[in-house]
Structure 1
């Protein structure tokens, strides 16, 4: 089952930051890492990924640089110190949120019946 764009709303930026946590990647590799890391659930169009990368770069959370590979120019991105800090905070927030949701979903109905 693929996630739709509404399900990702509000989470795309942090997911992109997470794909860059292991080091720099060019834009298309970021898109592929997002797809592969989610077992195909987050297979987003480039028209969604690239604007998000540009937004993250404008916010100072990632830095981009141009290179030439096999005669083709491509832009690679890497986390900045601010991006690393943001990702760490978002990971903590996510764990707390997920734990609260899990507790609610797995809780016994109220009032408890005996």
Structure 2
């Protein structure tokens, strides 16, 4: 069996370490998005709020496939944070996805299913 390397996205035999991780790469300086992602506002307020808003399950699996997937959920930026840092905390740009769907969508600037931002959720940050 093979799996995807989380760094370079190449297929590697399961249970082995990818060559890209074996190289001694110098640590990069955190950029603007890294700083936002490590902020208290993101970790303790916005991210948990979006997961609660979406019922703690993947919206893509629910809408596109009719499956309730609640393991390994992440908060996905519809418009990529690297290109649109000003939308980093914008509720309408954030959606809860499972890890698989998040990786499949990547940095595509739109969703591949119809989703409307829930507006009846009480904003409580």
TM-score w.r.t. the length of structure 2 is: 0.28
Structure with the larger helix share? 1
